[in-house]
Amino acid sequence: MKHRLLRPLFALAFCTQALAQEVPALFKDVLKPNEPTKAELVVVVPPPEIEKYISKVEESTKKDPAWFAEHAKTSKPGVPLPFHEKLGLTQSEYDEYIALWNKREFKVAHEIGMMLRLTSDGRWNLLGAGPAASISSLRFSEKEDNWKSSNGVLKRLPDIDADPMSILGGWKGKEWKFEEETTLSKLKENVAVGSTNDGKYHLIVYRAQENTSAGTRLLDKSLVIRIAKSSAATKAKSK
């Protein structure tokens, strides 16, 4: 019996003619055109004991938010803040926090299907099934080196070379971003494609955020999609 999340992708694959255009280098060995590939929607989970230290830091943040904003600039994005007494932790508590952070793990939230399809405008549509369906509006052009979504054009950012201490661990990839600000709200949309430094997985990371001009959160969608390199770009089989 076919995995139910892959059925819509199989149907689309069988209805789509194979097009003799080479897959972009970005997706080489990751996805094949019109062939559903098994993937995992994952979340990063640190040990629950870390919460008591996070709570202490959050309380300290409220006392001097301006200082914390400046202190955060001394650290790479996604990496724990450097130690300082104003964090609200003793040195030993901070060391324990870092030890717990180093024990964070990837947990599989959902098994999903992913597929790449060439569209009539010459762009490559990244299709996701189930909980990853929100990524399916993304279409990539290798020639223009950008993505299009329902929001607009995502433009290229500098390459990613994430610190091993970052939330996803060490990984390298390419990233694109759309950003728009009006009198009513500010919208940001990012997509990145790369692989983990240990050579085990391909990663597709998607984030969309929208806040009102007053700072109220309207949208906050994050997807971390993991494809094992040993099984990447292979057609999903029936269970």
pLDDT-based confidence at residue 151 (cuts at 50, 70, 90): very high
The torsion defined by the Cα of 225, 123, 173 and 219, in degrees rounded to 10, comes to: -50
Residue found under tokens 């255009």: 21
SS3 call for 174: strand
In this predicted structure, the answer to whether residue 11 has a pLDDT above a threshold of 50 is no
- For the entire predicted model, the pTM comes to 0.83
Question: What is the pLDDT at residue 215?
Answer: 87
Residue 188 DSSP one-character state: E
pLDDT category, 9, cuts 50, 70, 90?
very low
Task: Tell me what the mean pLDDT of segment 20-30 comes to.
Answer: 87
Q: What is the pLDDT of residues 133-150, one digit of tens each?
A: 999 999 999 999 999 999
Predicted local distance difference test score (pLDDT) of residue 237: 44
For residue range 214-223, what is the model confidence (pLDDT) as tens digits?
889 999 999 9
Please check whether residue 123 is in contact with residue 33, taking contact to mean a CB–CB distance below 8 angstroms.
no
pLDDT in tens, 53-107: 999 999 999 999 999 999 988 888 889 999 999 999 999 999 999 999 999 999 9
pLDDT, mean of residues 147-157: 97
Asked whether residue 13 carries a pLDDT value surpassing 90, the answer given is no
Grade residue 231 by pLDDT with cuts at 50, 70 and 90: low
The per-residue pLDDT for 87 is 94
Cα 160 from Cα 173, distance rounded (Å): 5
pLDDT in tens, 169-197: 999 999 999 999 999 999 999 999 999 99
Q: What's the pLDDT score for residue 21?
A: 67
Give dist(CA 166, CA 153) in Å, integer.
27
